Chain A
Amino acid sequence: MAETKYVGKTIRGKEAPRHVSGRGNFVDDIVLRGMLHAVILRSPHAHARIAKVDAEAALNHPGVLSVVTPADVQSMTRPFKPGRYAAGLTKPIFEYATAVDKVRYVGEPVAAVAARDRGSAEDALELISVDYEPLPAVVDTRDAMSPTSPPLFEELGANLAWRGVLTYGNIEAAFAEADQIVRERLKIHRYSSTPLEPFACIASFDASTQKLTVWVNAQVPEVIYDALREALGLEDVRVIIPDIGGSFGQKIHLIRKYVVITSLLALKSRRPVKWIEDRSEHMMAAGHACAQEFDVEAAVKRDGTVLGLRFKEIDDVGGSVSTLTIHFTNKLNNLTNTYKVQNISMEGYSVVTNKCPVVPNRGIGKPGMCFIWERIMDRIAEALSLSPIEVRQVNLVPPDQFPYTTPNGNVYDSGDYPALLQQALKSIGYEKFREEQRREREKGRLLGIGVVVGVEPGGRNAARDLAIFPEMKETPGSGGVNGATIKLEKNGTVALFLGSPNSGQSHETTSAQVAADILGISTEKISTSTPFDSDLAPWGVAAANSGNNFHLYDIGAVHGAATRLKEKILKLAAHVLDAAPAELTIENGTVHAPGSPLKKVTFAELGKIAYGNQALMPKGFEAGLQTTFYYTFPHADTNLVPGSDRKVRAQFTFSAAAHAVIVEVDRHTGKVHVLRYLIVSDNGVVINPRVVEGQAYGSAAHGISVALGEGFIYNSEGQLLTITLTDYGKSSTLETPRIEIEHHPVPSPFTALGQKAAGEGAAIPSPAAIASAVEDALRPLGVKVRELPLTPEAVWRLIKNAQGGNSKFEIRNSK
Chain B
Amino acid sequence: MVNFEYFEPKTLEEACALLEEHGDEARVIAGGTALIIMMRQHLLNPRVVISLANIPDFDSVRFDARDGLRIGAGARHRDIELAKPVREHYPLLHETFSKVAQPRIRNMGTIGGNLCQGDPLTDPGASLITLDAEITLLHSDGKRVLPLEQFFLDYYQTDLRPGEILTEIHAPPPSPGMRWAHIKFLPRSQEDFATVGVALTLRVKGGLCEDIRLALNSVAPTIVRARKAEGILRGRRPEEHLVREMAEVAATETDPMDDNRGSAEYKRELVRVLVRRAVDQALKRSGSGEQTGRDASTRL
A contact residues vs B (CB 8 Å cutoff): 119, 122-123, 666, 668-669, 671, 708-710, 713, 721-722, 725-727, 729-732, 734-735, 791-793, 796-797, 815
Interface residue B7 (Cβ < 8 Å from any Cβ of A): no
CB distance B188 to A669 under 8 Å?
Answer: no
Q: Could you tell me which residues of chain B, from 178 to 211, have a CB within 8 Å of some CB in chain A?
A: 185, 187-192, 195
CB nearest to A666 among chain B residues: B300
Residues on the B chain within 8 Å of A709, using CB: 187-188
CB distance B188 to A731 under 8 Å?
Answer: yes
Q: What's the nearest-Cβ distance from chain A to residue B106, in Å?
A: 15
Q: Given A666-B300, A726-B192, A793-B266, does the pair A671, B187 have CB atoms closer than 8 Å?
A: yes
Residues on the B chain within 8 Å of A725, using CB: 189, 191
Cα–Cα distance between A792 and B273 once the two chains are bound (Å): 13
Q: What's the nearest-Cβ distance from chain A to residue B274, in Å?
A: 8
CB nearest to A795 among chain B residues: B187
Cα–Cα distance between A123 and B3 once the two chains are bound (Å): 9
Residues on the A chain within 8 Å of B277, using CB: 815
Residues on the A chain within 8 Å of B62, using CB: none
Residues on the A chain within 8 Å of B276, using CB: 815
CB distance A792 to B189 under 8 Å?
Answer: no
CB distance B187 to A792 under 8 Å?
Answer: yes
CB distance A731 to B300 under 8 Å?
Answer: no
Interface residue B269 (Cβ < 8 Å from any Cβ of A): yes
Determine which of B189, B195, B262, B280 lies in contact with A726 in the assembled complex, contact meaning CB atoms within 8 Å: B189
Determine which of A122, A671, A721, A797 lies in contact with B260 in the assembled complex, contact meaning CB atoms within 8 Å: A721
CB distance B273 to A669 under 8 Å?
Answer: yes
CB distance A708 to B188 under 8 Å?
Answer: yes
Report, as a range, how many residues of chain B touch the other chain: 20 to 34
Cα–Cα distance between A722 and B276 once the two chains are bound (Å): 31
Cα–Cα distance between A713 and B188 once the two chains are bound (Å): 15
Cα–Cα distance between A666 and B270 once the two chains are bound (Å): 12
Q: What's the nearest-Cβ distance from chain A to residue B83, in Å?
A: 25
CB distance A669 to B300 under 8 Å?
Answer: yes
Extra contacts, 4 of them, besides A725-B191, A731-B189 (Cβ < 8 A), are A119-B1, A671-B187, A725-B189, A815-B277
Residues on the A chain within 8 Å of B270, using CB: 669
CB nearest to A122 among chain B residues: B1
Q: What's the nearest-Cβ distance from chain B to residue A445, in Å?
A: 14
CB distance A669 to B185 under 8 Å?
Answer: yes
Interface residue B263 (Cβ < 8 Å from any Cβ of A): yes
Q: Could you tell me which residues of chain B, from 238 to 282, have a CB within 8 Å of some CB in chain A?
A: 259-260, 262-263, 266, 269-270, 273-274, 276-277, 280
Q: Given A122-B1, A666-B300, A671-B300, does the pair A729, B189 have CB atoms closer than 8 Å?
A: yes
Cα–Cα distance between A122 and B280 once the two chains are bound (Å): 53
CB distance A734 to B190 under 8 Å?
Answer: yes
Most chain B C-beta atoms within 10 Å of own C-beta, residue among A708, A710, A725, A729 = A729
CB distance B260 to A713 under 8 Å?
Answer: yes
Cα–Cα distance between A797 and B188 once the two chains are bound (Å): 17
Residues on the B chain within 8 Å of A797, using CB: 266
Determine which of A666, A731, A793 lies in contact with B262 in the assembled complex, contact meaning CB atoms within 8 Å: A793
Q: What's the nearest-Cβ distance from chain A to residue B183, in Å?
A: 10
Determine which of A119, A713, A721, A731 lies in contact with B3 in the assembled complex, contact meaning CB atoms within 8 Å: A119
Most chain B C-beta atoms within 10 Å of own C-beta, residue among A668, A730, A797 = A668
Subset of 11 A-B contacts with CB under 8 Å: A666-B300, A669-B185, A671-B187, A708-B188, A710-B188, A731-B189, A732-B190, A791-B262, A792-B187, A792-B195, A792-B266
Residues on the A chain within 8 Å of B2, using CB: 123
Residues on the A chain within 8 Å of B1, using CB: 119, 122
Q: Given A119-B3, A671-B187, A791-B188, does the pair A796, B300 have CB atoms closer than 8 Å?
A: no
Residues on the B chain within 8 Å of A793, using CB: 187, 262-263, 266
B contact residues vs A (CB 8 Å cutoff): 1-3, 185, 187-192, 195, 259-260, 262-263, 266, 269-270, 273-274, 276-277, 280, 300
Cα–Cα distance between A734 and B300 once the two chains are bound (Å): 12
Cα–Cα distance between A709 and B192 once the two chains are bound (Å): 13
Residues on the A chain within 8 Å of B189, using CB: 725-726, 729-732, 735
Residues on the A chain within 8 Å of B266, using CB: 792-793, 796-797
CB distance B300 to A735 under 8 Å?
Answer: no
Cα–Cα distance between A119 and B1 once the two chains are bound (Å): 7
Cα–Cα distance between A791 and B3 once the two chains are bound (Å): 41
CB distance B3 to A735 under 8 Å?
Answer: no
CB distance B190 to A735 under 8 Å?
Answer: yes
Residues on the A chain within 8 Å of B300, using CB: 666, 669, 671
Determine which of B260, B269, B273 lies in contact with A727 in the assembled complex, contact meaning CB atoms within 8 Å: B260
CB distance B187 to A791 under 8 Å?
Answer: yes
Q: Given A122-B1, A671-B300, A796-B266, does the pair A726, B260 have CB atoms closer than 8 Å?
A: no
List the 5 closest pairs (A to B, CB-CB), nearest first.
Answer: A729-B188, A793-B266, A792-B187, A668-B273, A793-B262
CB nearest to B195 among chain A residues: A792
Q: Given A122-B1, A722-B260, A793-B263, does the pair A735, B188 have CB atoms closer than 8 Å?
A: yes
Cα–Cα distance between A797 and B270 once the two chains are bound (Å): 12
Cα–Cα distance between A614 and B2 once the two chains are bound (Å): 68
Residues on the A chain within 8 Å of B280, using CB: 815
Cα–Cα distance between A721 and B257 once the two chains are bound (Å): 14
Cα–Cα distance between A668 and B266 once the two chains are bound (Å): 10
Cα–Cα distance between A732 and B186 once the two chains are bound (Å): 12
Cα–Cα distance between A713 and B2 once the two chains are bound (Å): 30
Cα–Cα distance between A710 and B300 once the two chains are bound (Å): 17
Q: What's the nearest-Cβ distance from chain B to residue A289, in Å?
A: 18
Residues on the A chain within 8 Å of B273, using CB: 668-669
Residues on the B chain within 8 Å of A122, using CB: 1
Q: What's the nearest-Cβ distance from chain A to residue B268, in Å?
A: 12
CB distance B269 to A796 under 8 Å?
Answer: yes
Residues on the B chain within 8 Å of A792, using CB: 187, 195, 262, 266
Residues on the A chain within 8 Å of B269, using CB: 796
Cα–Cα distance between A796 and B2 once the two chains are bound (Å): 44
Q: What's the nearest-Cβ distance from chain A to residue B297, in Å?
A: 11
Cα–Cα distance between A721 and B1 once the two chains are bound (Å): 22
Cα–Cα distance between A788 and B122 once the two chains are bound (Å): 29
Cα–Cα distance between A726 and B269 once the two chains are bound (Å): 23
Cα–Cα distance between A457 and B157 once the two chains are bound (Å): 55
Q: What's the nearest-Cβ distance from chain A to residue B279, in Å?
A: 11
Residues on the B chain within 8 Å of A669, using CB: 185, 270, 273-274, 300
Cα–Cα distance between A792 and B262 once the two chains are bound (Å): 9
Cα–Cα distance between A791 and B188 once the two chains are bound (Å): 8
CB nearest to A722 among chain B residues: B260
CB nearest to B101 among chain A residues: A726
Q: What's the nearest-Cβ distance from chain A to residue B226, in Å?
A: 19
Most chain A C-beta atoms within 10 Å of own C-beta, residue among B1, B189, B191, B280 = B189
Most chain B C-beta atoms within 10 Å of own C-beta, residue among A122, A669, A725, A726 = A669
Q: What's the nearest-Cβ distance from chain B to residue A776, in Å?
A: 21
Residues on the B chain within 8 Å of A123, using CB: 2
CB nearest to B270 among chain A residues: A669
Q: What's the nearest-Cβ distance from chain A to residue B283, in Å?
A: 13
Q: What's the nearest-Cβ distance from chain A to residue B241, in Å?
A: 11
Q: What's the nearest-Cβ distance from chain B to residue A292, in Å?
A: 21
Residues on the B chain within 8 Å of A730, using CB: 188-189
Residues on the A chain within 8 Å of B187, using CB: 671, 709, 729, 791-793
Q: What's the nearest-Cβ distance from chain A to residue B176, in Å?
A: 29
Cα–Cα distance between A791 and B300 once the two chains are bound (Å): 13
Most chain A C-beta atoms within 10 Å of own C-beta, residue among B1, B2, B260, B280 = B260
Cα–Cα distance between A456 and B73 once the two chains are bound (Å): 56
Cα–Cα distance between A782 and B1 once the two chains are bound (Å): 53
Cα–Cα distance between A791 and B2 once the two chains are bound (Å): 38
Most chain A C-beta atoms within 10 Å of own C-beta, residue among B188, B260, B270, B300 = B188
Cα–Cα distance between A729 and B259 once the two chains are bound (Å): 13
Cα–Cα distance between A735 and B276 once the two chains are bound (Å): 25
Q: What's the nearest-Cβ distance from chain B to residue A160, in Å?
A: 28
CB nearest to B189 among chain A residues: A726
Cα–Cα distance between A731 and B190 once the two chains are bound (Å): 8
Cα–Cα distance between A190 and B273 once the two chains are bound (Å): 30
Q: What's the nearest-Cβ distance from chain B to residue A190, in Å?
A: 13
Cα–Cα distance between A119 and B273 once the two chains are bound (Å): 49
